[in-house]
Structure 1
Amino acid sequence: MVIPAPEAPPRHDGLAVHAGWYLAAGVVTTAAQFVLYFLLRAPLGAHGANLLAIIVTTIGNTEFHRRITFAGHDSPPRRRHVQILATIAFYAGYGSVVLLALHALVPEPSAVTETVVLATAGLLGGVCRFAALRWWVFAHRHPESRG
């Protein structure tokens, strides 16, 4: 008995398709990130909860984009790992600055206020990440190019 090889995932090339999948994944990932943040804030504090939520959701989100959003596009593991680390560093640093600014303006913000401010600030980061994923991590490459 011969078991057929799994079918290759469909390749999605259009900007609108990529943006649609990215947006859908972003909504789910952002919701998961801020649920984690909200649940972990009391035991870990604002910065610890933010960092752990970013790490967990960034890894899952990048894997989703590799398998679904940019399915069929070649992505060297090294480039994906650099992108994951850069994303974590960006959002951790950015989130920390946003939280520090919020605490400077509002001495005792609630967890809900922190969550809303982080989500709002994350929109800009999301746009930057989409550009990095589409035009760097999962970019069309000629077979001879490496990186």
Structure 2
Amino acid sequence: MPVVASAQTACPGGATAGSRLCGPDGAPQNFQVVRYDAHGAVAYSTSSDLFYYTTGANSGGMPSVRADAMTQCLQDGNQDCNLLGTWTNSCATFATVLVDGAKQPLFTTGSNSRKSRRTAKAECERLAPGEKCRVRKTECIFFRTDLVPY
């Protein structure tokens, strides 16, 4: 949806553009607000016990970040890379917990970092009651907007 905006360049001497002292310059300028969703993907290598994640907004979308996360994992020499999950315009937490003596990677999401971490800890407790949940990383990404002239 187009949004009409006007520039404030008619300013008295010494005033900063955008201040209350400035007025529109009279030239109509049309802008539209463009929203770019932010996407993230995480891969995990069991042998190296490392998480590899990529995020991006307007960077080729979800297929691009999925491929980037897997590429990072494989370029590090890992042969056992698995895509754990993806997220859009939210937060993700990566964690591990010991389940029957083996490390289990976890990937959870939430609307903010606190909710994402809380969900990861609850999942750890569900999978392995009493075991220590090792939260490795919480990453938040949100959409961005730009004003684009047309």
Say which structure is richer in strand: 2
**TM-score computed with the length of structure 1 as normaliser:** 0.23
**TM-score computed with the length of structure 2 as normaliser:** 0.23
Structure of greater Rg: 2
